[in-house]
Structure 1
Amino acid sequence: MNSQITTPTVEFVRRFSSTRRGASSARRLAVGQLDAWGVPQGSEYSDTAALIVAELAANAVLHGHVPGHACELRLVLGTVLRIEVTDTRPGRRPLRPEPAGDAESGRGLLLVEALAKAWGVAERPPGKTVWAELGP
C-alpha cells in the first residue's frame, strides 16, 4: 500500500481577448479563482500570482497578438501553482531576461524569474505557452 499523501489538483482555463483589456481581465480572473480555491485575495501568494499573470498576459497581447485570435489563461493548483498563458502567434519566443539598464520596458520577465520557482516556454501549435510555477 502506498502511504504517500497526494495533493488534489484543480484546474481553471479561460480564454481572454488579445488586447490590453483582455490581459487585465486575465489577472482579475486569476485572483478571483485563487480566492475561490482558498488563496485569499490580497495575500502575498495571491498578489505574486497576480503579478505573474499580469506580466505573462501583457507579453502575450503585446508580442503574441494575432488579430481575431484569443489568448488563454490556465491555472493548475496542486503542490505548486502553475500559471500558463498561451498565444497563437508562432515564433517570437521570449528569451531569458537580461537586465535592461535604463530601458523603460523589458523588465517583466525579470520579475517573473525573480518571483517564480521556475518558468519557461513550450510550443503549442499554432503558438506558444509561457508558464511559471509558484511554490507553496
Structure 2
Amino acid sequence: MANAVVSAPVGPPSYRANYVARKTAPGEARHGVAFALKTWGLEQLADTAEVLVSELVTNAVVHTDSRLVGVVVTRIAENTVRIMVLDTDRAETFVPACPSGDEESGRGLFLVAALADRWDIERVVTGKRIWCELDTKKVQP
C-alpha cells in the first residue's frame, strides 16, 4: 500500500499507511506522520507525534505477532490530531506495569500517557488499536 496524505472530498484530512512489522517500521511511520503534520500546517506537533508513533509502532512490532502495523493520523479538529496504531494482537488489553529504574524497556505507554493530551487502548474485531491525541497549544495574546 502506498503511503499518502489523503485528500478526501468529505471528512477530515487523514494519513493512512501499513508498515511491515520489522525494526524499520517505527522510523518509516515517524517520517510519514511528520510529513502529514507539516502538510497540514501543524509542524509544532511533529516532534511529539514522532515520539508517540515511534513508541506505539515499536510496541506493535516487538510485543505482537502482527505482520502489518497500521497507522492512521486524522486531523479531527483545527488544532487536534489523532494518531492510531492498529495491530492484529488478540491478547487481552493490559495495564502496563511500572518498570524498575534498572530496566531498559517497558516505558513506552508511560511516555505516551505523559506526552499525549488523551489516549486509550481499544479492542476491535481485527485486534486492537491504540490511539492518542495531540492539541496545539494556543498562545495567549
Question: Is the Cα–Cα contact under 8 Å of residues 84 and 129 in structure 1 kept in the other structure?
Answer: yes
What pairs with 1:101-112 in structure 2 (closer than 5 Å)? 101-112=101-112
TM-score (norm 2): 0.80
Structure 2 match to 1:114: 114
Aligned sequence identity (%):
32
Structure 2 match to 1:54: 54
Unmatched segments (≥5 aa) in structure 2: 1-10, 137-141
Instruction: Give me the whole-angstrom Cα distance separating, in 2, the residues matched to 1:94 and 1:117.
Output: 20
Q: C-alpha deviations, 1:2-25, integer Å up to 9, x for none?
A: xxxxxx721111111111112221
Structure ranking higher in strand proportion: 2
Question: Is the Cα–Cα contact under 8 Å of residues 17 and 23 in structure 1 kept in the other structure?
Answer: no
TM-score (norm 1): 0.82
1:30 to 16, 19, 33: 33
Matched, 1:123 2:118: no
Displacement of 1:97 after TM fit? 5.2
| Amino acid in structure 2 at the alignment position of 1:122 | E
Displacement of 1:99 after TM fit? 4.9
Displacement of 1:89 after TM fit? 1.7
Instruction: Give me the whole-angstrom Cα distance separating, in 1, the residues matched to 2:126 and 2:108.
Output: 24
SS in 1 for 2:91: coil
Unmatched segments (≥5 aa) in structure 1: 1-7
